[in-house]
Amino acid sequence: MEMLGEAMISGIIMGSLFGAMAVGLTIIYGVIKMFNFAHGIIAILGAYLAWWLFSSVHLNLIGAIAFSFFLMLLVGILIFTLIIRVLLRTPRWPYSTIIASIGLGIFLQNLLLQIFGPRIKSMPVFFEGNIKVGGITIGWHEISLILIVLSLMLILRIFFKKTTLGNAMRAVAQSPEGAKIVGINTLKIFSYAYMMGIAVTGLSGVFLSTKCYVIPHRGWDWMVKGFIIVAFGGLGNVMGAYYAALLLGILEALVVTYVGTVWVWNFWFVSFLVILLIRPEGLLGGRMG
């Protein structure tokens, strides 16, 4: 029973973290309809920036995270302006963006490797100590992570439902032509969505780096997990990605506890296959919101 409880808790934590990462992916896909194949390394980049600001520039923890978020917004607008915008103007954009973002991801990955070296980086935990509930030990840090991600999701939800920009993004997501007709500058919305997606992803990387170690080439695995989560939740569905991540996180933890770690990757593959064959539009459908 305790084993089950612990598996559930760790599943919820990892699910929350990967959910936050997958949300960035789904925002970018939902609005621009392009898959960001540099996604994993963007999360790693966020983590590295925060780590560098914290340990080398000696900002405090909150300052480092906030400043890295700001830097990631800049990274997002930079990539969008220099690469994505140019490619979106060509008729071949659906696959030229795929190939270009694969190239970009590997470029960034190796750039990070050269700058920071191959040693493992990780951020300190937010809160020390832990509590015991019915024989199960939970760290305060883990609890804070779950709550932070939950509030992040709520903020995003409010953003998409209540704000003008959020509504405009949803409009573009549903029909770029329609949005254009009612006078929305789609290119601008694309750039905001891309920036937002990148910044949220960077933030998720920071959170992930407090739970597990970070080296550049882990980004690829993270990204593939992100893809599966997004496919589960329905492409472009923000809350869907979060719920799917929680579900898959818990299932993965159960697999690790009761079946064995070697089977984890097969588990992800099979779940992806199953969802694609049964419900290609994802468990929760494919709408933004």
Partner 1 sequence: MLNKIGWKKMAIWLSLLVIVLYPVFFHSNSYIMHIFILFFCWAVLASSWNLLFGYAGIWSLAQVGVFVIGAYSSGMMAKFTGISPLICIPLAAILTALIVTLFVGLPSLRLKGIYICVFSLMFADALPSVLTQTRKWTGGGRGFHDIPPLWNNISRVHYYYVGFAIFLISLFIIYKIVNSSTGKAFIALRDSRDFALSLGINEYKERLKVFALSSFFAGLAGAFYGHYLGHISPSSLGISPFLLAIAMMEMGGLGRFPGAVIGAVVLVFGSELLRLTGMSRLTILGAAVVLIMLFMPKGLMQIVDIIDNIKLRKNAIIK
Q: Which residues bind partner 1 (CB under 8 A)?
A: 29, 35, 83, 86-87, 90, 92, 94-96, 98-100, 102-111, 113-114, 217, 220-221, 224, 227-228, 231, 235, 262, 265-266, 268-269, 272-273, 276-277, 280
Which lies closer to partner 1 via its Cβ, residue 103 or residue 124?
103
Q: How many CA atoms lie within 13 A of 42 on its CB side?
A: 37
Shorter beta-carbon distance to partner 1: residue 136 or 276: 276
State phi, psi for 38 to the nearest 5 degrees: -100, 20
Least spacing, CB of residue 264 vs partner 1, in Å: 8
* Choice between 69 and 93, CB closer to partner 1: 93
Give 68 or 97: the residue with its C-beta nearer to partner 1.
97
Q: Please report how close the Cβ of residue 144 comes to partner 1 at its closest, in angstroms.
A: 32
Q: What is d(CA 270, CA 54) in angstroms, rounded to the nearest whole number?
A: 39
* 13 vs 34, beta carbon nearer partner 1: 34
Smallest separation, CB 272 to partner 1 (Å):
6
The span from the CA of 158 to the CA of 166, in Å, is: 8
| CB 138, min distance to partner 1, A | 30
Are the C-beta atoms of 203 and 69 separated by less than 8 Å? yes
d(CA 55, CA 62): 13
What is the β-pairing status of strands 136-139 and 130-133?
A: antiparallel
Q: How far is CA 26 from the centre of its chain?
A: 8
Minimum distance between the CB of residue 128 and partner 1, rounded to whole angstroms? 36
Tell me how crowded residue 267 is: count the other CB atoms within 10 A of its CB: 16
